[in-house]
Amino acid sequence: MNTKSALFKEHMVELRLFGVLLGLMVVLSLISDRFLTVDNLTNVLWSVCLIGIMTTGAIYAPITGGIDLSVASMAALAGILANVFMNTLGMNWIVAILITLVIGAGIGWLNGVVTTKFLVPAFIVTMAAKTYLFGVAMLVSNGDQITIMEPAPFLQIGIGKLLGIPIPIYIMFTLVILSHILLKKTVFGRRTIAVGANEVAAKLTGVNPDRTRIIVYTISSVTATIAGIVMASLTQQAYAMNATGYELDVITAIVVGGTSLMGGSGSVVGALIGAVMVGFINNGLNLLDMPSAFHPIATGIVILVALIMNQGVSVPAVLKKWFARPGAAEAAK
Amino acid sequence: MSNNVKSDLLLECRGIDKNYNGPQVLSKVDFSLRRGEIHALVGENGAGKSTLIKIVTGITNRNAGTIVFDGHDVPVEHNKNASEKLGIAVIYQELSLIHGMTVAQNIFLTKEPLLPGLPFIDIKKMNAMAQEMIEKYGFDLKATDIIDKLPIAQRQTVEILKALSNKASLMIMDEPTSSLTAKESERLFKIIRMLKAEGITVVYISHRMEEVYDLSDRVTVLRDGKLVSVLEGEEITPAEIIRLMIGRELTEDESHHKMVDKRDREVVLEVKNLSAEGKLNDVSFKLHKGEVLGFGGLVGSGRTELMRAIYGIDAFDAGEIMYLGKTYSPTVEKSIASGFGFVPEERRLQGIMGGISITGNIGIANLDSISSPAGFVSRDKELERTQTAISTLNIKPANPDHLVGNLSGGNQQKVVVGKWLIRDLKLLIVDEPTVGVDIGAKEEMYQTIDRLSREGVAVMVVSSDLPELTRLSDRIIVLRKGRIIKEFTEGVVTEEEVLRAASGIVEGGAK
Ligand SMILES: Nc1ncnc2c1ncn2[C@@H]1O[C@H](COP(=O)(O)OP(=O)(O)OP(=O)(O)O)[C@@H](O)[C@H]1O
Ligand SMILES: [Mg+2]
């Protein structure tokens, strides 16, 4: 009984989120009869896949108390580079992907090194990376929307299906499972959480916070690269603006999923549910023909609400306290 | 509301209940304070002392009960601001002072004197006002000192001044002496008596019975969240308090433990001419198998710095460390892999990871023994290790999933020590190991250290608690200004001897 209730407690956040998600789906299907169509759901799936893949790696930075803002630029650049390697330089597609991954890892490593060794806050470092990676992407692609026509196996990554299910879904779930195991079951996961919970204490118990952080930012960049490759293949396009703004969706998904930006805890499964929710919210706005300006507004509100919920304070109690202040009554009059 | 008629009770709590959405932490506790008394609040770790204080100061809210402060009913939805307005002040050790600001800025924060007619702070006036207060009480401070540069004892006096400037009528001190040396504690007691003379009521939580005995007019004893007794005058004796606290007699064993010469045993660690700019000056000593080597000295004497250098946290400039006969250039990771354990000085900043469970805290120091070569952690092994630590040091509540930040102070300390005690150690370094730990648990910790030393573990103990140092040590080295100034190797050392050496009064020997 004890282990059962403990298990339940451990997954409370995820279960609660799942409930909210189901509620959201019900609301959306009531609002729009286009919502529950195969076409629409497939559409949502694509964006969820890309955000979902990115969150599996990007989640580690918040767990250490940091953040990675460069994932979207990294993804766009990855698609452009892969295309250059395959179609300009004529490399085999597998080799091209591997080289792109190595470059992605290198950039993440650099982010990690600058934050840890030169003591620049991760926020600034990855913001700079976001900017310069975008610049490089523009430079390499000439700012063009390049259509990727070949090679065929490369295009299958995005549009191919296995047993009727699109391949990106397999990629996403594989990464979610790997990332979940990495966080919950491995020494590295423990160390990441410890660094976020109390860096000094972690250090004095044998954790190397710098090394841990460098690995964290490397992983983040690698999953962004994977997402970029999937995106290029899926859209058959290499374009510097392809993922613009995705980093906010990724952070929203992570935060909505119950990971605190203060560090010390996190849930990969929660972030996945968060990614699905972000996808649905954007989709819902589209279905309602809301102007695109509403997307950032909705995203912002969702982040705030999620953060408030994750603080564990009860909103009614806060309101009650607020109105119970001496003077509040007079002020209200 | 009972108006105007001032009763002689400043605070009256009745039937206080508290649970943090879990087990009952306080049940039906009555607690009252007379005006102008020094009142000690005692009890074992987790008895609910800090919780009771937090309820009075509005940091947390009670589930039931009534509180009357100075004739005012205190509502359940109490908060910190309201309690400050009522004149209740809590003296934290450093938490509430703002680093980077001066003493005067901290004292007058949010109530700075302004230049006449202008929205700017009158810095000159503010400094003068602060200096005047400092001189009135004869504190060893300057209004323009930056907080960061002050030792803990002086930060406390800044807290007290801040409270005085708020016209506090009740000052609450939760374990104020736990990181003070004997001399600094004495100074604090003088201040407390001065406050009393001004008519201020002082509540004082401590695990040091002699202090309670010397200082308090009345003592409230809590056990397992219940009021056991309120003692007054003649009734206050250390033995009686302890009996009431733990519910049984504490069997007195040889607390003046004799030193044992173990210098003929195998050398585990040898430090040769270790120097670090401004911290350590030509320190040399040997540590032997199964030996407990105590380090005495005042705060700032270099004891902590020496331990940190040996463990590999801070670099040193010159000298050599030999471990098991080989030159050793320490890093924390290497030290842990070589069988070191290290309990740091400051629990909150360096010891605990408050946001994660007991299991998480214990596991992180034992990753090597609970994981496979491929890097996978065995949840079962981790839990088993945690259970061992919980039962060895009697951590309460004995729930591995409990967040360490929600444990009582003493139990947090047990977690910090416990994560090392379950390892296969060769060398254990403990810096103020029993800060905030109650008297019974302290004895358990001493016995564990005794057992480790019998099993051959070499131990280095830094402690400002002199009875603790003499109780544990086989040999005592006294540091002063980064140098070894005295070594006690035989017989029974008295606390006074250690203190005299630490203060630089040494007969013969090194200068
Ligand atoms: N925020 C919290 N959430 C849950 N339980 C808590 C919380 N704070 C304290 N407790 C529990 O309440 C009990 C009393 O804790 P409290 O801190 O009042 O003890 P204490 O008497 O001050 O002990 P110590 O001498 O160790 O400081 C403990 O069992 C502790 O685990
Ligand atoms: Mg306490």
| 3 state SS of B458 | strand
Chain A's closest residue to B373, CA to CA, is A187
Mean pLDDT of A112-118: 94
Residue A212 three-state SS: helix
Residue pair A151/A93 in contact (Cβ under 8 Å)? The answer is: yes
Instruction: Place B510 in a pLDDT band, splitting at 50, 70 and 90.
Output: very low
Mean pLDDT of chain B: 88
Q: Tell me, yes or no, whether B446 and B408 share the same domain.
A: no
Token pair 């250690």 in the structure block, residue? B498
User: Which of A151, A21, A146 is closest to A92 using CA atoms?
Assistant: A151
- Kindly state whether residue B53 falls inside one of the protein's structural domains: yes
For residues B495 and B403, membership in a common domain is answered with no
The region of weakest confidence among A33-37, A264-268, B80-84, B122-126 is A33-37
Number of domains in chain A: 1
- ipTM metric: 0.84
* Average pLDDT of chain A, as a whole number: 87
Alpha carbon nearest to ligand 1 atom 12, residue: B25
Q: Are residues B403 and B433 in the same domain?
A: no
- My answer on whether B237 and B259 are in the same domain is no
Residues 6+ apart with CB under 8 A from A294: A285
Per the structure block, which two tokens stand in for B438? 């109650």
| Residue B310 belongs to some domain of the structure | yes
Rounded-to-integer distance, Cα B52 and Cα B40, Å: 13
Q: Between B81 and B416, whose confidence is greater?
A: B416
Q: By CA distance, what is B341's nearest residue in A?
A: A205
Enter the DSSP assignment of B4: S
> Does residue B457 register a pLDDT over 50?
yes
Q: Which residues of B fall below an 8 Å CB-CB distance to A?
A: 77, 79, 311, 313, 332-333, 336-337, 342, 344, 349-356, 360, 363-365, 367, 371, 375-377, 379, 401, 419
Which domain does B171 fall in, by range? 9-246
| Kind plus residue range of the DSSP H or E element containing B251 | none
| Overall domain count for chain B | 3
Nearest Cα residue to A191 out of B345, B411, B356: B356
Domain assignment present for residue B511? The answer is: no
Are A197 and B377 an interchain contact pair (Cβ–Cβ within 8 Å)? no
For residue A78, the tally of other CB atoms under 10 A from its CB is 32
How many whole angstroms separate alpha carbon A267 and alpha carbon B290?
Answer: 45
A79 neighbors A138 (Cβ within 8 angstroms): no
State the residue for tokens 């009357």. B68
Tell me how far apart the alpha carbons of residues B329 and B321 are, in angstroms, rounded to a whole number: 7
d(CA B129, CA A87): 77
Question: Does A20 map to a domain?
Answer: no
Q: What is the CATH number of the domain that holds A109?
A: 1.10.3470
Q: Is residue A243 part of a domain?
A: yes
Ligand with the closest atom to the CA of B410:
1
pLDDT for A1 equals 38
> Which residue range forms the structural domain that includes residue A171?
34-332
Q: Is the peptide bond before A316 cis (omega within 30 degrees of 0)?
A: no
Token digits of residue A166 = 């699109």
Single out the residue in B195, B214, B246 at which a domain terminates: B246
Range of weakest confidence among A73-82, A314-323, B47-56, B220-229: A314-323
List the helix and strand counts (H, then E) for chain A. 17, 4
Q: For A49-83, what is each residue's pLDDT tens digit?
A: 999 999 999 999 999 999 999 999 999 999 999 99
- The CATH number of whichever domain residue B468 belongs to comes to 3.40.50.300
Q: Would B508 be classed as within a structural domain? A: no
Instruction: Give B173-195 pLDDT, tens digit per residue.
Output: 988 888 777 778 888 899 899 99
Average pLDDT over residues B462-489: 88
Is A236 contained in some domain?
Answer: yes
The residue length of chain B stands at 511
In a domain, A261, yes or no: yes
Q: Are B289 and B452 in contact (CB under 8 A)?
A: no
Q: Determine the Cα–Cα distance for residues B349 and B187; give it in Å rounded to an integer.
A: 26
Q: Which candidate, A211, A279, A287, A241, places its Cα nearest to that of A76?
A: A241
Question: Over the stretch B145-175, which tens digit does the pLDDT of each residue have?
Answer: 998 888 878 888 898 888 888 889 999 998 8
Q: Cβ of B353 and A204 within 8 Å?
A: no
Domain for residue A193, yes or no? Answer: yes
From the list B356, B348, B349, B333, the residue with the least C-alpha distance to B404 is B356
Q: Are B165 and B108 in contact (CB under 8 A)?
A: yes
Whole-number pLDDT of residue B502: 80
Q: Kindly list the protein residues whose Cβ atom lies closer than 6 A to any atom of ligand 1.
A: B 20, 22, 25, 43, 45-51, 396-397, 406-411, 436, 438
Cβ atoms of B17 and B65 closer than 8 Å: yes
pLDDT confidence band for B256 (50 / 70 / 90): low
Residue A321 and residue B10: Cα distance in Å, rounded?
A: 26
* pTM (predicted TM-score): 0.86
Q: Please, which residues bridge with residue B502 across strands?
A: none
* Lowest-confidence pick of A77-86, A123-132, A170-179, B476-485: B476-485
